[in-house]
Structure 1
Amino acid sequence: MRTILILILVVTLQSSCKKAPDETKPLTVMYLAPQTLEYASGFTILNKENYKEIKVTTPWPDAEEELTYILYPKGTEKPFKAANTVFVEVPIERVVVTSTTDVPMLEYLNLEQKLVGFPHSDYISSEKTRALIDNGTIKELGKEYNLNTEVVLELSPELIIGFSATGDTKAYDLIQKTGIPVVMNGSWMEQHPLGRAEWIKFVAAFFGKEAAAEERFQKIKKDYNKAVTLAQDVTHAPTVISGSMFKDVWYIPGGNSYFAKILKDANTNYLWSDINKSGSLTLSFESVLDKGQHADLWIRSGSSKSLSELKGKNHQYALFDAFKNKTVYSSTLKMGSKGGSIYYELGPMRPDLILKDIIHIAHPEVLTNYEPYFFEKLN
């Protein structure tokens, strides 16, 4: 009841206390720089004369409608009125994000100081942003699916960049009724590694950082494609299995998945590459053993920190040649100071580093002096 009363009060104040613009004060109109996309398929950007139209076409699985956002410069009138459309005055000065994958994008654009709140901030691993959490600049907002509405309203963000795995946006809808615009980041739905990284352009558009985003993305693209070229010159493609058991199911990347694409680009023979599925496959232990027992490499083996810990979870893991030969690699050994995953936070923004890690594992002769960033061998 208290939250509802606060929302009513905020909406009332916003509608009744708006001042007429000071016509004697000159307006500074932001230039909305054009943007183009190369790999991302989950959103579009249409550059108009005095605004940008961004449509997020796949914010979550099986989304029935696309989401439309109109960005227009502060100090100008809203370009038009439309239902089911979120209007955002840019550039943004105060933002709340809800996924750790947004944090590297903000940092690469030098925008971390504009982040004022985050849900379950222990998940954040970046030392730069953790320092802002520790000194109180970034406030804790509770859980991502149950944001502390009162704290959000006190922070007065100009934008919330949300995330939903299921399409449940109730918490965001409640906040948006107060006048705070909410936009959804669907980068995790992209199947091409560079497509995920290109969502930095989505974030940049709200801050007038289009040029910086383009420069950063082009560098990542160049490094990724250069690594692909190096790997394709190798004649031997080692066989690979991935994933691990959870209860009675082995979850393994589908053949059209983001990670399967990286394994292909690293010139490995991923044993489930022929399965036409973009999400995870749910398999029995027996079926994985039958197909992958003699695989050369086991990459992304779950959360275990050692071979003994891995075997302790299921003694039959020891039947795999990769276990016997100690060629099991995990991305979970490197964690932030509060236990957050560096791989899951930074990896989507840096597919070039993931690719180089796997090339170094599969073809060590190609990247001889390379130090892996995410993946480490289990001992």
Structure 2
Amino acid sequence: MKKIVFLLIIAFISCKKEPKKATSETPNNIPVKKEDAVDIPIEYAKGFSIQKQGNLTIIKVNAPWPNARKTYTYALIDKKKMETIRINSSLYDAVIPTPVNRLVATSTTHIPAIEALGVENTLIGFPGTNYVSSKKVRKKIDEGKVTNLGLNESINTEVLVNLQPELIMGFTVEGQNKTYSTIENAGIPVVYNGDWVEETPLGKAEWIKFFGPFFQKGREADSIFNSIAKSYQEAKTLATTAKNKPTVLSGSMFKDIWYVPAGKSWVAHFLEDANANYLWKDSFGTGSLSLNFETVLEKAKNADFWIGPGQFVSYNQLKETNKHYTQFKAYKDKKVYTYSLATGVTGGLLYYELAPNRPDIVLKDIIHILHPEILPDYKTVFFKQLQP
């Protein structure tokens, strides 16, 4: 879980290159005119774009990691047309024949997208399979159809290359991943996925549109996302009918620092849309704030709810870890709710896997907790009240 904490509190870094200009070529070596290119609508996500250029689909990833200054450009082409179309591969970071039939994913957030598109059978390898919660993919793992590739920071490249994947869907926290260079040198394309960098709930969820073209499932991806966005907006509107706006505390101590979601963070967006008074809503930043215990106690001692206390699963665990947690009103009133009780059979947290893809479910969870009169019969999926 240290890796998860690290990803939540990572200090954002920077570095920049101008993006490459991408053009496709016909068999007669005639470039597609700019005015003939068609942009695929992306409404919420900021980290990628998709454009149809003749027989090519061009995907650009401009936010593969926080504050990245390098843009990656990928050209996708139907396998059936590979022999009839000239492509200047030097213009792209990778040229990928589609549909992809043999995929290696590297983040649990990739799993729900491929499952929603109905292409989970393309998955042949994954680092750290114990983190996967999806029942469908766990079945494939148990059947030996998905190979465990070790840890993401040190993927077993020999095993990976022997699997002969057509694509590695990768991610990195700062652009320094020697393993991916080794994989690319073996002739296997690596595509950077920055879904985790997005700052808004619907921005993360819209990355299903990024997955679609690799499997020739662009229309299906659009339809899936539109359904999720509609569900989210309906829940958000419903939350505005609440008669009260409870105060909310979030986060917990890690060593001597209490990390709370910043005012423009992914978590803060959920709390705002659930019609909550998040006590750090006016703070600057999209990541986490590093605070001492006294500062948090002074501001949130009387908060009505405590949503997301890190990895804690019980009130007794909170008390044993730090007796001062018991000073909070939310602790005394038994109004502390965690995502750490919703796990897969091997202990993977469902929240880290599915929540970015299904923000509508997250929002409904929080609305039910804060305003039970609005969704009285709803059963939460991710957030559960702490055990005794």
Q: Does 1:326 align with 2:331?
A: no
Aligned pairs (5 A) from 1:1-379 = 35-74=40-79, 75-76=81-82, 77-83=85-91, 85-378=93-386, 379=388
CA positional deviation for 1:70: 1.0
Q: Is the 8 A contact 1:117 1:140 kept in 2?
A: yes
> Distance between the aligned counterparts of 1:178 and 1:38, measured in 2?
36
CA positional deviation for 1:326: 0.4
> Distance between the aligned counterparts of 2:74 and 2:153, measured in 1?
22
Q: Is the 8 A contact 1:35 1:210 kept in 2?
A: no
> Distance between the aligned counterparts of 1:343 and 1:255, measured in 2?
21
Stretch moving more, 94-103 or 53-62: 53-62
The one-character-per-residue Cα deviations of 1:315-374 (angstroms, maximum 9, x if unpaired) are: 000000000000000000011111100111000000000000000011000001100111
Q: CA RMSD in A?
A: 1.4
| Alignment length (residue pairs) | 348
CA positional deviation for 1:84: 5.6
- Letter of the 1:327 partner, please give it: K
- Letter of the 2:140 partner, please give it: L
The one-character-per-residue Cα deviations of 1:279-333 (angstroms, maximum 9, x if unpaired) are: 0111000000010000000000111221011111110000000000000000000
CA positional deviation for 1:243: 0.3
Q: Is the 8 A contact 2:248 2:277 kept in 1?
A: yes
Q: Is the 8 A contact 1:241 1:270 kept in 2?
A: yes
Q: Is the 8 A contact 2:74 2:92 kept in 1?
A: no
> Distance between the aligned counterparts of 1:114 and 1:199, measured in 2?
18
CA positional deviation for 1:235: 3.3
- Letter of the 1:355 partner, please give it: L
The one-character-per-residue Cα deviations of 1:10-30 (angstroms, maximum 9, x if unpaired) are: xxxxxxxxxxxxxxxxxxxxx
- Letter of the 1:215 partner, please give it: S
Q: Is the 8 A contact 2:40 2:49 kept in 1?
A: no
> Distance between the aligned counterparts of 2:225 and 2:162, measured in 1?
34
> Distance between the aligned counterparts of 1:343 and 1:124, measured in 2?
11
Unaligned stretches of 5+ residues in structure 1: 1-31
Q: Is the 8 A contact 1:249 1:284 kept in 2?
A: yes
CA positional deviation for 1:208: 0.2
Task: Name the SS for the 1:251 alignment partner.
Answer: strand
Q: Is the 8 A contact 2:63 2:197 kept in 1?
A: yes
The one-character-per-residue Cα deviations of 1:135-163 (angstroms, maximum 9, x if unpaired) are: 00001111101111111111100000001
Task: Name the SS for the 2:299 alignment partner.
Answer: helix
Q: Is the 8 A contact 2:75 2:92 kept in 1?
A: no
> Distance between the aligned counterparts of 1:288 and 1:231, measured in 2?
27
Task: Name the SS for the 1:107 alignment partner.
Answer: helix
> Distance between the aligned counterparts of 2:89 and 2:350, measured in 1?
42
> Distance between the aligned counterparts of 2:216 and 2:357, measured in 1?
19
Normalising by structure 2, what TM-score?
0.88
CA positional deviation for 1:78: 4.4
The one-character-per-residue Cα deviations of 1:228-265 (angstroms, maximum 9, x if unpaired) are: 00001223110000000000000110000011001000
The one-character-per-residue Cα deviations of 1:29-77 (angstroms, maximum 9, x if unpaired) are: xxx9973211110111111111011111111122121111111121323
1:147–1:78 CA distance, 2 compared to 1 (3 A): farther
Q: Is the 8 A contact 2:56 2:75 kept in 1?
A: yes
Q: Is the 8 A contact 1:45 1:55 kept in 2?
A: yes
1:157–1:186 CA distance, 2 compared to 1 (3 A): same
The one-character-per-residue Cα deviations of 1:210-245 (angstroms, maximum 9, x if unpaired) are: 111111111110110000000012231100000000
1:288–1:143 CA distance, 2 compared to 1 (3 A): same
Q: Is the 8 A contact 1:72 1:79 kept in 2?
A: no
- Letter of the 1:98 partner, please give it: T
Unaligned stretches of 5+ residues in structure 2: 1-36
> Distance between the aligned counterparts of 2:330 and 2:171, measured in 1?
36
Q: Is the 8 A contact 2:38 2:53 kept in 1?
A: no
